[in-house]
Structure 1
Amino acid sequence: MTVAARPAKATAWSSPAFRFLLGSEAVTLSGSAVSTVALPTLAVLELRASTTEVAVLAFFGQLPSAVALWAGALSDRHPKRPQLIASDLAAAGALVTIPAAVLAGALTVGQLCAVAVVLGAAKVLRDTAAISLLPALVDPGQLHDANAKIGAASSVADSAGTNAGAVLVGAVGPARSVLVDALSFVVSAVLIWRMRVPEVATAPRARTGLSRDIADGVRYVARQPTIRTVIAALSTLSFGLAVMNTYWAYYLLDRLGASPTVLGVIMGVGGAGGVAGALVAPRIAARIGIGPTIIVGFAVSPLAQVPLLCAGPGPRWQIVLAATLAGQLFWATASGTSQRSLRQAVCDPNFQGRMQSASTTLTAGARPLAAATAGGLVLLLDVRATLAIGALLQVVPVVLLLASPIRALREIPARAAVPPAREGA
């Protein structure tokens, strides 16, 4: 008797549309990682930006998160592919103005701030559309696998882009290196254009105004306990990290004497940790539970800041910082993949865009305030003390999660009923 072979379980990779989205995410993150090295180098080492100007640049880069709620409402109303393409092309157009200004001898910190605003707005629109589109591209059972693959590819792209950025900055200068990022957005736009997936706007066809759609989305998030708790933890963690990130590159380049190449290598090694975290995230969640996976990822973040606060100049400390960042990003990616899958799985399809935009508003929206806070703190204290305060703030989300039912969550639950949000009422 012949036993029929059991068909292999389909993964997210079996969806052509998902593969295009995966490629788009990877290529844009790879290019943006080059700019992560190039832009701080351009500001700090070539334009000789002061600590205040560094804080202002960080503030403007995060300011566009204020439009996230509108981006979410638009995402739920309209097809998402055109939004992805438009945001990619806008980002590419903004980036090419930097080398053009350098050639003309006219680049200023003010122009970098303007470019940062455009890039920030494009990122908000793009991320909202991409994340809310994902559940429509794969089966529900493939969602965690899809997020893990995106996380792994993104981490590889980020690591490769950071290392490439370090090499490019040294070889052709930071301004020309930015062109690689611009090209990455053009490639991404082509990939999304080639994606073929039927899209139906999930919000009601009756137009009641974006303000009403936004209010409905906020009410939905506020009434969904799992989503509400995760977003609250994300926003508080984001604030603490943003306080530190305002001066993180500055601290390494100026106070610890790291070169742009060393900065890129440290970030690249950290990215490798992120790759590993994304690849094993589903297995970690299966072993210890999705709730503990999320909490451990949050808890590692403040602990990982201790070596930075104790570090001094020299290669030994640079190795320690690279290893610590790798461990931090390992758990951050594993936790991020898990919490994103959890939120997408329990969220009503009609509110995917607005749920994500609420998360972006509270997480990314905290960053301009954090950058301004960091700028004020550095005037009263110093850079190292400001970094220490940012690290302490990262303990708060751990307490929030430990006090919630998420700590006992072992599997992703089915979508729970939520009191009606009076959609369009």
Structure 2
Amino acid sequence: MSSLCDPISSAGGTSLWRHQDFRRYLTGQAASVAGSSISAMALPVLAVLELDVSPAQVAWITFMGQLPPALLALHAGALADRRSKRKQMITGDLVSAVVLASVPAAAALDRLSLAQLMVVAAVQGAAGVLHDAAAISLLPSLVDRSLIQRSNSRIGALFAVAATAGSNLGATLTALLGPARALLGDVGSYLVSAWCTTRIQTRGTNVTRAGSHRLHTEIGEGLRYVRRDHRLRTLTLVNATTSAALALLNTLWALYLLKSLSMSPTAFGVVLGLGALGAAAGALAAPALARRYGAGPMMLVALALPPLTQIPLLLASPARTWQIGIGAALFLQLACAAAAGTTQRSIRQVVTADDMQARMQAVSTWLTSGARPVAALVAGGLGTRIGVRPTLAVGTCLLLVPLVVLYRSPLRGLRQMPGAQPVPSPPGDPLVQPPVPSPSPSPGAAPAGDGQRNPAAGGGGTA
């Protein structure tokens, strides 16, 4: 049973794919990513082409989906650190499956409305943040910390492949069955994810510290922990500003392609698939790029390129040549996002203590999620007032902000992935670094520094 219950520990000789719990985790989460890509393909088509929503209404649907994570992320993180992460993940999956299944049911009865899509978005957002807070923080209990960057690289690549498959499957299902019934593919993915999670046997998912402190006290501990560590603070701020810019762009992106550029649903799915392939390439390349050029310089370049990738989108007209250009630009954009995202998440997970993993991640989710609904409403207002294309130009300019944040940080010169030991704050920083104890070595654990790690599919800039 040791192979099922102990973290993967051999940095060099043990394949991550041979660990059963890691495979179960990957299978469930990859199924969920594929399903979400089906919804990402089908829902905009359903809202824009069948319900004929306006830019402002698109923004309200997005707002309703992104508001619950902003309100609940800190609580979800604290719950995940004190209770069973597996049970929290399963609950989130099952709630999402039930509420999403109501959309094709209502469409079949000709009762689907904009109000229902808003309610579904809100409930899915709440269930999703419960699931994600536990899922992201579960990884460090499955693998040794020396393998975190390599694990996240594999996760990011597999998630991108799953997203590609989901996008293309979503386009096919939408064309064959219609956008409402295509959502049943995502419903099934939630059920697969829940089943795989029930099969995980790692000891790290056991209940810990239930009831030892009040929830708001533990939330405060998480906020202070991130604030006092200059690395966590900087990377969390980079995430939040990136998220705000991407939220503004993504709110109107599908509307712009489907209506302004007259892109067909099939071509839209192909473009999403190209973006997912870029994310896979970026995730796989991230460890090697970080070793060769340094994690800090690599992240700087990865943040500098996305504003340039928006140029084809802003100049495009309804023509196949421009569709190809937009697809190529999205490939590069998501390659950069995956390379930077998996690296920064690896850094945050490596330097964070075991009992703070979920709360650390929850702080990032809270800030990034808090930025998204505001950006969605701004996008809707600007899109209605000045037009969709000028609003996308505003979002492109906002992509420069995270680049500036990282450039002004000591992390810009980071050459090696940090170990699990605290480092002093930079000169002039009045805050004291919180202690980050090394994890207790498991039987056969590799020495610190033997491996690497990297993740993230959070869609375009996730937390």
Q: Normalization by structure 1: what TM-score? A: 0.95
- How far 1:79 sits from its partner (Å)? 1.2
Asked if 1:165 corresponds to 2:170, the answer is yes
Query: Is 1:31 the counterpart of 2:35 in the alignment?
Result: yes
| Ranges of 4+ aligned residues in structure 1 off by more than 4 Å | 200-206, 418-421
Contact 1:11 1:142 in 2 (8 A): no
User: Gaps (5+ residues) in structure 1?
Assistant: 1-5
Q: Please state whether the residue corresponding to 1:365 is helix, strand or coil.
A: helix
Aligned to 1:181: 186
Q: Which of 148, 155, 180 is the equivalent residue of 1:143?
A: 148
1:92 and 1:182 in contact (8 A); partners too: yes
How do 1:58-97 residues align onto structure 2 when only pairs under 5 Å count? 58-65=62-69, 66-97=71-102
**Which residue identity lines up with residue 142 of structure 2 in the other structure?**
L
Matching of residues 293-312 of structure 1 within 5 Å:
293-312=298-317
Residues 11 and 146 of structure 2 are in contact (CA less than 8 Å); yes or no, is this contact kept in structure 1? no
Aligned positions of 1:73-222 closer than 5 A? 73-199=78-204, 204=209, 207-222=212-227
What is the CA-CA distance between 1:200 and the residue it aligns to?
Answer: 5.9
- Which stretch shifts more, 173-182 or 121-130? 121-130
Distance (whole Å) between structure 2 residues aligned to residue 54 and residue 205 of structure 1: 40
Kept after mapping to 2: 8 A contact 1:94/1:115: yes
1:8 shift after superposition: 5.2
Compared CA separation, residues 7 and 233, structure 1 to 2 (3 A): closer
Q: Look up the equivalent residue of 1:48 and give its one-letter code.
A: D
Q: 2:442 aligns to what?
A: none
Structure 2 equivalent of residue 406 of structure 1:
411
Of residues 275, 279, 283, the one that matches 1:278 is 283
Q: Are 1:267 and 2:272 matched, yes or no? A: yes
3-state SS of paired residue (1:413): coil
**1:51 and 1:375 in contact (8 A); partners too:** yes
Question: Does residue 1:350 correspond to 2:363, yes or no?
Answer: no
**Over residues 239-259 of structure 1, what are the superposed CA-to-partner deviations in whole Å (9 max), with x where a residue is unaligned?**
011111110000000000101
Distance in 1 (alpha carbons) for counterparts of 2:366 and 2:306: 21
| TM-aligned CA deviation for residue 415 of structure 1 | 2.8
Question: Would the alpha carbon gap of residues 38 and 317 (structure 1) be closer, same or farther in structure 2, given more than 3 Å must change?
Answer: same
Q: In 2, distance between residues paired with 1:377 and 1:412?
A: 41
In the TM superposition, residue 70 of structure 1 has moved relative to its aligned partner by 0.3
C-alpha distance after superposition, 1:221-256 (max 9, x if no partner): 000100100010110111011111110000000000
Give 1 or 2: higher helix fraction.
1
Which whole-Å deviations, capped at 9, do the CAs of 1:339-375 have from their partners, x for residues lacking one?
Answer: 1100000111121000000000111221000011111
- Is the partner of 1:48 in helix, strand or coil? coil
Contact conserved, 2:88 with 2:130, CA < 8 A, in 1?
Answer: yes
Pick one of 44, 47, 55 that aligns with 2:59. 55
Q: Does the CA-based 8 Å contact 1:15-1:137 persist in structure 2?
A: no
1:199 alignment partner, SS class? helix
**Distance in 2 between the 1:227 and 1:402 partners?**
15
1:281 and 1:391, CA in 2 relative to 1: closer, same or farther beyond 3 A?
same
Question: Percent of aligned pairs with the same residue?
Answer: 46
Matched, 1:327 2:332: yes
2:102 is aligned with what amino acid? T
RMSD over aligned CA atoms reads 1.6
**Deviations 1:307-365 (Å, cap 9, x if unpaired)?**
10111111000000000100111111111111110000011112100000000011122
Gap change, CA 1:339 and 1:420, over 3 Å in 2: closer
Question: Is the CA contact 1:293–1:338 (under 8 Å) kept in the aligned structure 2?
Answer: no
Aligned match for 2:24, one of 20, 27, 40: 20
Give the Cα separation in 2 of the matches to 1:166 and 1:351. Answer: 40
Q: Normalising by structure 2, report the TM-score.
A: 0.87
Distance 2:433 2:308 in 1: 38
Amino acid at match of 1:23: T
Which deviates more from structure 2 when the two are superposed, residues 129-138 or residues 199-208?
Answer: 199-208
SS in 1 for 2:111: coil
1:138-178: CA deviation from partner (whole Å, max 9, x where unpaired): 01111011101110110000011001111110111001100
Aligned length: 416
Q: Distance between the aligned counterparts of 1:206 and 1:311, measured in 2?
A: 56
- Equivalent pair of 2:138/2:205 in contact (CA under 8 Å): no
Inter-partner Cα distance in structure 2 for 1:7 and 1:267: 34
